[in-house]
Structure 1
């Protein structure tokens, strides 16, 4: 079956349009600090969960279709890709800058000079609100 073998995401125009809508919604979640994973992974997890749910639902005999399957899959997917509380309290660059600035002292990947420069940039972005 084509739907099992088409992994390119190129698909039909309707499929591409649907993926773009999904990407836009995931981007808004990311901007609000709600994502637990990266945007691309979130899109792939959501898409794979939905695709798998539909294929499984349609392959089951109608009498054996339990709506709890769809609810359970949806809840598992939401838990996998989103956080319970947003990392960013105010949407947009200023809110994201404030959230990152607050977490900066706990990180160890940047040198002192890099932290200083990043803090300066974050201060400017945070004040744009």
Structure 2
């Protein structure tokens, strides 16, 4: 019986998550979810008190899957590279899930999300590894707060800007600004020629085949 209930609840959450991803939070109504899940509204109310409770479950479901991937990632020998990888993953997830980001910006919802807490623990662990190298020139707490705020702000800025008007170097510039704020100057990573070309790749007028080939060349040791 519990297994059947669990499957029914999971199916409802999956349908609501799809609606959130495809149409935004406004489309996630009890009626719309019931219709898409081929069930009745009273069935949904047996699992969720109201729409907000359903949205809480959806946010937790989607974000938990993302955080689980971050937790499972094996750390490399370079703490700064891992920090950068986390930044890029955060941007990728945020840009791919605009509806979810709008939910998690609610401080009340974020505060009661176990996955949000777990995600911050992952960031804290990565920053602790950077601190252990002696590279930080601010406290770990300040470094974490600056990076977290910059990541959220970057996602919101990009989401609110039409694609044709986006600055392709904006996210990199923001990240580098944060690094300059939290690291000793001698600890700042040097940009290689390949990094510079890769950063400017979106502005180059290349065919898809040329872009793929150039990326492959730059990836070779």
TM-score, normalising length from structure 1?
0.58
The question of 1:61 aligning with 2:167 is answered no
Query: Is there any run of 5+ residues in structure 2 with no aligned partner, and where?
Result: 1-101, 188-221
Residue in structure 2 matched with residue 46 of structure 1 by the alignment: 147
Change (3 A) 1:77 1:7: farther
Q: Matched residues in 1 for 2:147 and 2:108: separation?
A: 14
Change (3 A) 1:9 1:35: farther
Alpha-carbon offset, residue 12 of structure 1: 2.7
The question of 1:73 aligning with 2:73 is answered no
The question of 1:31 aligning with 2:125 is answered no
Which one has a larger percent helix, Structure 1 or Structure 2? 2
Alpha-carbon offset, residue 62 of structure 1: 1.7
Q: Matched residues in 2 for 1:32 and 1:8: separation?
A: 35
Over the aligned positions, Cα root-mean-square deviation in angstroms equals 2.2
Q: Matched residues in 1 for 2:103 and 2:148: separation?
A: 16
Q: Matched residues in 2 for 1:19 and 1:71: separation?
A: 21
Q: Which has the larger radius of gyration?
A: 2
The question of 1:83 aligning with 2:153 is answered no
Alpha-carbon offset, residue 36 of structure 1: 1.1
Query: Could you report, residue by residue, the CA deviation over 1:42-93 in whole angstroms, capped at 9, with x for unpaired residues?
Result: 000000000000011111112111121111101100110111336xxxxxxx
Query: Is there any run of 5+ residues in structure 1 with no aligned partner, and where?
Result: 87-129
Runs of 4+ aligned structure 1 residues displaced above 3 Å come to 1-5
Change (3 A) 1:37 1:9: farther
